[in-house]
Amino acid sequence: MPPPTPLPVPLGQTVATPAALDVLTRPDMVAALRRHAAGDWGDVDDDDRAANDDAMRTGGRLLSVYRAANGTTFWVVTEADRSVTTVLLPEDY
């Protein structure tokens, strides 16, 4: 039996930090936001993956980790209330 399809993540308002805008391309950010919204958490560790899966059921902050075409690692974070999703670099946190 295939795994269940993840519930879509409401992103709310999408924003990016100035540092992320300086080094990431729009296509990288759009692709990451689509993956995040679909429940594909990217390169998170097992603990963060489990926390995200739990947050999908119970509410809570969501964190995804992706790598841009230029090799830059960046994060996508959706707030617990799903009002805002931010694209940022790890050092922005």
**What pLDDT digit, counting tens, does each position of 56-69 carry?**
989 999 999 999 99
The closest alpha carbon to 23, from 78, 80, 66, belongs to 66
pLDDT in tens, 4-22: 555 588 999 999 999 999 9
Contact 20, 30 (CB under 8 A): no
pTM: 0.90
How far is residue 63's CA from residue 40's CA, in Å, rounded to a whole number?
A: 10
Q: In what order do the strands lie in the sheet with 84-88?
A: 13-16, 84-88, 73-78, 62-67
Question: What pairing do the DSSP bridges indicate for beta strands 73-78 and 84-88?
Answer: antiparallel
